[in-house]
A and B are shown apart, each in its own frame.
Chain A
Amino acid sequence: MKPEDIIKPENKVYSRPRLLNDVNTHYCPGCSHGVVHKLVAELLEEMGVEDKAIGIAPVGCAVFAYNYIDIDWIEAAHGRAPALATAASRLNPECLVFTYQGDGDLAAIGTAETIHAANRGENITIIFINNGIYGMTGGQMAPTTLLGMKTATTPYGRNSELNGYPLAITDLLARLDGTCYVTRQAVHTPAAVRKTKAAIKKAFTNSLEKRGTSIVEIVSTCNSGWKLTPAQSNQWMVEHMFEKYPLGDLKNVEHKA
């Protein structure tokens, strides 16, 4: 008996999104990236926009996003995704342009590009994975690393005198006239996943309707970097990250100013 004999299409309640390539990912087990990738792939398919979507991949763990979601992608230099997205969007106004960036990419080396793209009100969606650490390079301090949090470059814990304070950059972005939708979500529970999906859908819709810049921050786990199990990571995120980065909409208006 083959699997096809048992698994009949009419009985299937869930399957891999068509746009998600059938390949092994390089993400660690328990990492939030996989869930968010799946949501992006599902939404592009459900909204029927995969043929006019342009994704901008960052430098960091999501650098290979283009290997996993079968749409057109440009791989940016570290932090520059919003600059690429600006040009891609302005030169191709019929396309849905989104960036997918981590905290180091968006809130450290790419702070200027992020703030100015949002301040110009570029009609793009920024998906921002905030796990408080540099995953790809081996767990160094990120701008969003919490005080006291141990990383490869803050082995004794982040110290505000030495390293400054965790940067809630989304709070800043919400105050800019160019943004129309700024929200902070997570993907640690089925309910949170559904909320995040709705948030990304709203952001994509805003971009298609030229309402201004939409930013979906997703407070995420990095169990390898945090040196915790996936389950412990989720718990640690709820207990520590959400205090500095509380979930919910920071801004939700019809149109940029």
Chain B
Amino acid sequence: MKGNEAIAHAAIRYGADGYFGYPITPQSEVLETLAELKPWETTGMVVLQAESEVAAINMVYGGAATGKAVMTSSSSPGVSLKQEGISYLAASELPALIVNVMRGGPGLGTIQPSQADYFQATKGGGHGDYHLIVLSPATVQEMTDFVALGFDLSFKYRTPAMILADGIVGQMMEKVVLPPQRPRRTEAEIREQCPWAVTGRGSRAHGNVVTSLELDSAKMEENNLRFQQTYRTIEENEVRFQEYFTDDAEYLIVAFGSVARICLKAIEEARAKGVKIGLLRPITLWPFPKAEVRRLAEQVKGILTVELNAGQMIEDVRLAAGEAAPVAHFGRMGGIVPNPGEVLEALKENFSVNI
């Protein structure tokens, strides 16, 4: 099935309580598939087409505040509109899952695949000091698996998580193993697991309030310090990445999402000619695998980042590598996807590698 369809199936099977979305290419299949599967008749999951991206993310905010597992999906211009709600979710310490199937920008740009929302996703995106947990799938199987992972991490740390996919992974069809159906959490489980949730007071003595507002500057700074503490804990515990051929690598490519697969092909071609190139594929773009980049930077002669953008992740790679290795960027934009040959050309040009 398509990556976008896999997201829909995985959400139902996770036992998600609600999906709120708005059509935009290239991710509309998420909402379409959910509408076709009618989970409200089976698991009781609410699916709603909102009047706007802004409304959709604020529905997610309202649903998340009641302790439910809720999500939305969109593509780049739509995710820009959602930034208000994402900032509120982070500030109110609410779990939620947001899927961005990236297309080329800026502006209305193109409906073709892109990775140009890396900065937006990993550096905050909306106003204020916050981070999302950002997962980068490279396969349709990962599109499936990261729904549960994203929800679980966002509930564990009470902070929103994002699946930052590109249009290729969203539209590509692959075989996929779907997880077994999990039941939705009961009201009693939500009350027990999410004592902060707005569920109606029930037997509580006083009302719960979910808010991001704090006019007392000292208390607001305390809130911010608590958010930062959570982010440090996430950085310590949740870094995920995958490596290929790095043991003996003399050069390193760092790439995420579908581009990592193109790079892997390029590396296999190079290795057939005796050139030792390795691949580091960050799975969590935030928290970024800084320590691993640093370790590999000490080992290799040069690092090439390959991205479907003008060079965004390269900033994190450079920060991590420091002076240990030179870092160069190769990217295509506006919906153009490079082929393995172009990747090898870029390695040759930047590091005088003889391939």
Contacts and interface: CB of A to CB of B under 8 A. Distances in A.
Contacts of A71: 200-201, 207
B198 A72 contact: yes
Contact of B62 (A69, A72, A83, A116): A83
Given A88-B66, A91-B66, A72 B211 contact: no
Given A66-B209, A91-B70, A53 B200 contact: yes
Contact of A51 (B55, B65, B92, B200): B200
A70 B20 CA distance: 29
Given A51-B200, A72-B209, A77-B88, A90 B58 contact: no
Interface in B25-40: none
B58 A76 contact: yes
Nearest to B202: A51
Nearest to B88: A77
Interface in A129-170: none
A25 interface: no
B63 A112 contact: no
A88 B70 CA distance: 11
Contacts, number: 131
Interface string B107-145: 000000000000000000000000000000000000000
B56 to A, nearest CB: 8
27 contacts: A51-B200, A51-B202, A51-B203, A52-B200, A54-B199, A63-B213, A71-B200, A72-B207, A73-B207, A73-B209, A73-B210, A74-B198, A74-B209, A74-B210, A75-B209, A76-B61, A76-B62, A84-B58, A84-B65, A86-B48, A86-B55, A87-B61, A87-B63, A88-B65, A90-B63, A91-B46, A92-B66
Interface of A: 50-54, 56-57, 63, 66, 69-77, 80, 83-88, 90-92, 94-96, 112-113, 116
Interface of B: 17-18, 20, 46, 48, 50-52, 54-56, 58-63, 65-66, 68, 70, 84-85, 88, 92, 198-203, 206-213
